[in-house]
Amino acid sequence: MFKKIKNFSLSELKDLLKSAGFDSFRAEQIFNYIYVNKKESFDEMAILPAKLRQFLSETFNINSITDYKFSLSKDGTKKFLFSLTDNNKIESVLIPDEKDTGRLTLCVSSQVGCTLNCTFCATGKLPFMRSLESAEIIDQFMSAEKISGQKITNIVFMGMGEPLYNLKNVIVAIKILSDPKVTLISQRRITVSTVGVIKKIQELAEEGLKVKLAISLHATTDKTRNMLIPYSEKVNMSQLGDAIEYFYRKTKQNITYEYIYLEGINNSDEDVKRLAKITKRVPSKVNIIPYHDISFTGAEAVQEFKVPTRASIDKFSAQLRNLGVNVFCRTSSGFDIDAACGQLAYSERTNI
């Protein structure tokens, strides 16, 4: 069975080549061919000895994505449905900045499906199949750039799955993408999102990376959060706050709180006060995200969930700002192609 060469860091590839009887310095040439020159065949790596090219061709594959489908939103958002070598499928979303600043963000998946079953999220309605390999994460980035013809400036691990449940492969992918030999993207432009897997937040902090952490908060009390995010029954908000503070103290990276706005559920005056208090613990910002309808999944919808009006979101945001909270209101980019936040559930699903 072929190995995926993008699963290997530069140092690992050097060790592998050396153990196979080849000069370890060839690893840097291979890295340059793959990540800088974007070669997709070992036969194209002309500087390598023929014997090494043969070894690579017989041992590895370069691409972990075998096919794709592409959807374009009227707002410029692009959604990719990627097919993997085992016929599983994942989705990634390329999001332009609405202010036309040149910022182009790729929302990548870390798993096929998800185990968390958050009530507002379509991905949670999919069966969990497996975690992605590092190569499959990297190839979302490289394929999206190739297909779109655009330079991606930012990555957010906010696609399908819980990134911290696949932390080892996520970290390897981040280190390869930001390796100074190729520097496809800076670590400072990468955000990892989580519902709050405490031990893994601490592990990520210990890695010494310069990535940002986003917390899928979505509520200001344990009772409401447990209703929205079943996983949160395993960890209360006080424990989550401790883990967040630990991450900040270790990394000095500001925290982002993601907050799905749900009219009548998490937008009371008391929610405003509690959310403001939460954000004061460490330097942070709050992304207010409108709830997006997920009835297209065919799953039984939560009756209380309604798509909010812009006026109600603006009022909530203004209340937070008056209390000194750094607030951003996310748009519904890609809503018309089921690519907005909470909507990722691959298009050819059959088991929902």
- For the beta carbon of residue 313, count every other beta carbon within 10 angstroms: 19
Q: What is the DSSP string of 228-274?
A: H-GGGGGS-HHHHHHHHHHHHHHH-PPEEEEEEE-TTTS-SHHHHHH
- Dist. CA 292–CA 306, nearest whole Å: 8
- For the beta carbon of residue 217, count every other beta carbon within 10 angstroms: 27
Torsion of CA 150, 194, 274, 335, to 10 degrees: 40
- In the set 91, 133, 136, 162, the catalytic residue is 91
Q: Is 155 left (phi over 0), alpha (psi -120 to 50) or beta?
A: beta
- In the set 107, 114, 118, 341, the catalytic residue is 341
Q: Is 107 considered catalytic here?
A: no
The two structure tokens encoding residue 142: 């490289």
The two structure tokens encoding residue 5: 């060469």
The two structure tokens encoding residue 238: 């006080």
How many Cα atoms are found within 13 Å in the side-chain-facing hemisphere of 276? Answer: 17
Measured at the CA of 71, the angle between CA 344 and CA 140, to 5 degrees, comes to 65
Q: Which of 304, 226, 231, 320 is nearest to 265 (CA)?
A: 304
DSSP state of 43: G
Q: Is 44 considered catalytic here?
A: no
Measured at the CA of 215, the angle between CA 71 and CA 297, to 5 degrees, comes to 40
- Dist. CA 252–CA 234, nearest whole Å: 27
- Dist. CA 225–CA 233, nearest whole Å: 8
- Dist. CA 30–CA 244, nearest whole Å: 39
- Dist. CA 204–CA 152, nearest whole Å: 24
- What is the end-to-end Cα distance of the chain in Å, rounded? 31
Catalytic residue numbers, as ranges: 91, 341
